[in-house]
Structure formats: C-alpha cells, structure tokens
C-alpha cells in the first residue's frame, strides 16, 4: 500500500480574506461557512508530523480551529504579507515542541524574510520572546521535510518567483499568473491540484478562473480546487459554472495525497 499524507486547507482566501472589511458582495454577506475564507495556507500531515505551508495573518485562528499542536517545518511560497505575517505565532509551537522550527524558501523569499522579520532572524537586543526558527534556502532540487519528499517548482507572480510544491500526487500552486514550462513538466500526472484562481476579471499577479481552467485542461488532474479566491466568487454560484473535477476550495477542506 502506498504511504499517504493528509492535506488540509487552512485558508483559501485572497490577501484581504473573505469577507473583506466593508465589502457587501454576496460572498461577503453570506452566512455560509464556505464563503468565509482565511488567508491562504495549507498543512500536510504525514505519520504524525506536520509541514505547514506559509504563516499568514490568520495562523493563530487556523491552529486553534484545527487543533494543530505541532509544526515540524514551514515552507514559505513567497514573502507577501498574506503568507508571512503570522510568523510570530510560530512561538506557540516552540513552546509545545521545545525546539526550533526549520523554515524553507527560495533565496528571494529568504532575503526579504530576514529584512521584514529582522527581530527574528538577525541577532539583536529584542527583549520579548521571539520565534525560534532556522531559515534554509531551497533551489530547484527536491528536498526532504517532515518525513516527506517535496519537489519545488517555480511559479510566476507578476515577476516574482513563487514556490509551488509537489508532494506525491498532490501539488499546491498558489499566487501565480503563469506557470513556466519546466514546472508544467513537474506537474504532469498530478492527481489533486490546489491552484490560484483569484476572480473572473484580469489581474496582474493572479490567474483568473478562465486562465486557471486552461492549466487544468493542460494537466487534467483528477480533482482541482481553486484557492486564493476573492469576494467576487460566491462559493455555490461559482461551483455551478465550473466543469466536473474542478471546484472552489473552502477552509477546512481535507483530502489524502499518495506519496
């Protein structure tokens, strides 16, 4: 039997979250939990160990909601605020696990994380308790983390290099408006894909629903979930118009990946 991992979507909203403050669209006014989206993050559990992808501003809420009590490693897709600004809440896992947490990212992300969170990564005289983290640069090669083999692949996000991750037959591709050919090769044969699809209208750094569907057509995964969706995409109405095998992700969505 193949080894498996459990993927849970901790948040599938765009940078503002849904509802976004002051917004009166159908998605934002909806009481349906599937229209309530925290900032984008997933967690992958394998044999009791957890790999967290990104630490957005909702990390604390996500950890409480899913009773997450350990984080064995963090992979950062990129340095944007909606993916990093919950970093201080990693302290909770330092308290619980009594050891530093290894974090992995592309060099461009490492550079900005060191700048933006200087109090964590640079020696200084910070007086409070800061997260105990190590930061390691990742290149194009697969790397082992939390007992899993992660194949990184590059995504384009308005010129920024963002890391996508393939773990077994699952891949996560958030925050992108193009996928280079080399990465499409890595994505071949993926069974479950979580893919950026911000909204219907064009955007300089995110796929639209139509653009994301072109990627789905090229890769033909068994199941695709759209993430990083904004307030224009009401869950049920959007799903009604998507082809079979494609639907919007929702916070708390969980499925198995085969390693």
| Interaction site with Zn ion (CB under 5 A) | 80, 82, 175
Alpha-helical (H) ranges within the chain are 26-29, 59-65, 81-84, 91-97, 107-116, 118-121, 181-187, 209-219, 235-240
- Residue whose CB is less far from Zn ion, 85 or 166: 85
Which residue of this chain has its Cβ atom nearest to Zn ion in the complex? 80
Instruction: From residue 104, give the alpha-carbon distance in Å to each of 37, 135, 142, 210, 243.
Output: 25, 6, 12, 31, 35
The answer to whether the CB of 164 falls within 8 A of the CB of 227 is no
Pairwise CA distance, residues 177 & 204, whole Å: 7
- Residue whose CB is less far from Zn ion, 175 or 211: 175
Q: How far is the CB of 181 from Zn ion (least distance, A)?
A: 22
Q: How far is the CB of 84 from Zn ion (least distance, A)?
A: 10
- Residue whose CB is less far from Zn ion, 174 or 224: 174
Q: How far is the CB of 40 from Zn ion (least distance, A)?
A: 6
Kindly report the CA angle at 177 between 182 and 116, in degrees rounded to 5?
95
Pairwise CA distance, residues 42 & 77, whole Å: 11
Of 110, 235, 216, nearest to 173 by C-alpha is 216
Q: How far is the CB of 43 from Zn ion (least distance, A)?
A: 17
Q: How far is the CB of 198 from Zn ion (least distance, A)?
A: 9
Q: How far is the CB of 79 from Zn ion (least distance, A)?
A: 8
Kindly report the CA angle at 42 between 196 and 147, in degrees rounded to 5?
125
Q: How far is the CB of 139 from Zn ion (least distance, A)?
A: 21
The answer to whether the CB of 148 falls within 8 A of the CB of 53 is no
Q: Which residue has the tokens 């308290």?
A: 95
- Residue whose CB is less far from Zn ion, 80 or 166: 80
- Residue whose CB is less far from Zn ion, 37 or 80: 80
- Residue whose CB is less far from Zn ion, 112 or 135: 112
Pairwise CA distance, residues 29 & 119, whole Å: 39
The answer to whether the CB of 129 falls within 8 A of the CB of 93 is no
SS3 97: helix
- Residue whose CB is less far from Zn ion, 3 or 81: 81
């Amino acid at each position: 039997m193949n080894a498996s991992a459990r993927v849970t979507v901790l948040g599938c909203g765009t940078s503002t979250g849904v509802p976004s403050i002051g917004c009166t669209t159908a998605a934002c006014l909806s009481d349906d939990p599937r229209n309530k989206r925290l900032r984008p993050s997933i967690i992958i559990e394998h044999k009791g160990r957890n790999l967290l992808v990104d630490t957005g501003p909702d990390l604390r809420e996500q950890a409480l909601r899913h009773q997450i009590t350990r984080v064995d490693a963090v992979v950062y897709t990129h340095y944007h605020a909606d993916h990093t600004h919950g970093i201080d809440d990693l302290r909770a896992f330092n308290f619980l696990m009594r050891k530093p947490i290894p974090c992995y990212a592309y060099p461009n992300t490492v550079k900005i994380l060191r700048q933006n969170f200087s109090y964590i990564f640079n020696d200084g005289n910070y007086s409070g308790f800061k997260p105990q983290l190590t930061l390691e640069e990742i290149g194009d090669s697969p790397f082992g983390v939390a007992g899993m083999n992660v194949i990184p692949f590059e995504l384009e996000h308005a010129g920024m290099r963002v890391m996508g991750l393939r773990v077994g037959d699952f891949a996560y591709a958030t925050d992108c408006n193009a996928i280079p050919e080399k990465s499409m090769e890595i994505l071949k044969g993926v069974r479950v894909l979580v893919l950026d699809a911000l909204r219907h209208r064009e955007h300089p750094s995110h796929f639209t629903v139509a653009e994301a569907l072109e990627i789905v057509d090229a890769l033909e995964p068994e199941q695709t979930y759209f993430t990083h969706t904004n307030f224009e995409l009401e869950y049920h109405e959007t799903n009604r118009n998507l082809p079979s095998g494609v639907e919007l992700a929702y916070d708390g969505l969980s499925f198995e990946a085969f390693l």
